[in-house]
Amino acid sequence: MEKFNLKNNKALITGAGTGIGRAIAIEFAKLGADVVVNYNSSKEAAEEVVNEIKGLGQKAIAIQADVTKEDQVSNLVKKAVEFGEGKIDILVNNAGTLVKRCPIDEMDLELWYKIMDVNMTSTFLVTKHVIPVMKNQNNGRIINISSLAAHNGGGPGAVAYATSKAAVQAFTKGLAKELAPNILVNAIAPGIITTRFHDVYTPMEVRANFGKNIPLGREGTPEETAGAAVLLATEYGSYITGEMIEVNGGIYMD
């Protein structure tokens, strides 16, 4: 199992204070990585992640940044490079959310842009600023978080969200070609995962029926999603690029 090893790796994970981002940060640390825990508003949660990582014997730092703002992204990456002593080996673009369920005919341009910004523009901006670092070190792994919604159009009022996540998938494939052969770029498409996302945006009566439509009969966990990120970040993922790994319990099969 030696290839499942991230010793001496420096990882930057956006939106890492809660949910899937948190789980990825912890799993990376368990394998020996030092982690930059980016957050926007979840300061206490991010600091808890940092303390947990330090408890595992690894280094970690929490850095606040709104990753839809380029000046803040530039500062985030600068601080991450300083923390990593010149390196960023792994970037996980996890920041994103539904923002609000809203039918397209009722959606104003401000909400449309906000959804696109938090899911797609953030991925573009952080990646843009990390690429020179990875090119300088002649290697790197970029892992983008897309969604099941990129395939099926999402649930009610989630067309904009689904569109933004489909854009993440296309961005991943194009970037994989652009940055090959030394920087690998992949995406993960979580299905219905037990996180705050569904607590906020999915009615309980709808959520109660999720298991009936999932072949594995239940929601997934953030840790199960993090397992896919571990594969892509370690040497076991050294011949995978431009791919979207589905973590959905069988609800979507391509």
- List residues with catalytic annotation: 161
* Burial category of 47 from C-beta neighbours within 10 Å (exposed 0-12, middle 13-18, buried 19 and up): middle
| Among 17, 23, 13, 11, CA closest to 40 | 17
Query: Cα–Cα distance between 161 and 118 in angstroms, integer?
Result: 10
Residue 37 CA to residue 14 CA, distance in Å, equals 7
Distances (CA, A) of 203 to 62, 101, 118, 207: 32, 11, 22, 6
